Amino acid sequence: MIQHEAWTRTIRLCKGLSDDRIRKAYTTYFRDSGDRAIKQRRGKSPRQISLFVKTPPHQLKATTLIALFCNNLLLRADTTSKVYAHWPRTDVEYGHRVCRAFETYQILHPAAALNFEWAWNLLRSIVRNDELYLAVCRRCWSKYVQDAYALDRRICPSCSLSGKPH
């Protein structure tokens, strides 16, 4: 999580890591990696949802992350596309799984629009089932991340980006 420039508050949410242990992890990481470009971020994590839905490419990236979170058993979607938190607690294993999902996302989307904190925010936002939800495409039946308050044409980002007439 340090390597992904996660905010200290986010790391602290993963139970089992005391402030002291996080500080030591930072010290060890910087000493061993020699990477001074990594920032230790403090304060509040970003909270708006607009970045996940502002364009079809953003929606596609957010949808990829949701699928990876499901693969890593952090989320599950029921038959009505309602999304639930699946992992029982925010522990160290939870943090590992978020990192794994995020690293796979970076491989799939080299020009990743969402950094680690945004990915974390997406994971926490989608389970509230209020501002974000999983819509179903009327053309290919895929699920995709959508803004609950936006006009939904029911076209997923992949179909939208394929350029075929709707």
Residues that bind Zn ion (CB under 5 A): 137, 139-140, 142, 156, 159
**Closer CB to Zn ion, 6 or 156, in the complex:** 156
**Closer CB to Zn ion, 56 or 95, in the complex:** 56
Quote the least distance from Cβ 52 to Zn ion, whole Å: 17
Quote the least distance from Cβ 139 to Zn ion, whole Å: 5
Are 134 and 152 in contact by the 8 Å Cβ rule? The answer is no
**Closer CB to Zn ion, 41 or 139, in the complex:** 139
DSSP classification of residue 113? S
Quote the least distance from Cβ 15 to Zn ion, whole Å: 39
Q: How many Cβ atoms sit within 10 Å of the Cβ of residue 34?
A: 7
Are 137 and 113 in contact by the 8 Å Cβ rule? The answer is no
**Closer CB to Zn ion, 37 or 151, in the complex:** 151
CA nearest to 69, candidates 120, 113, 110, 118: 120
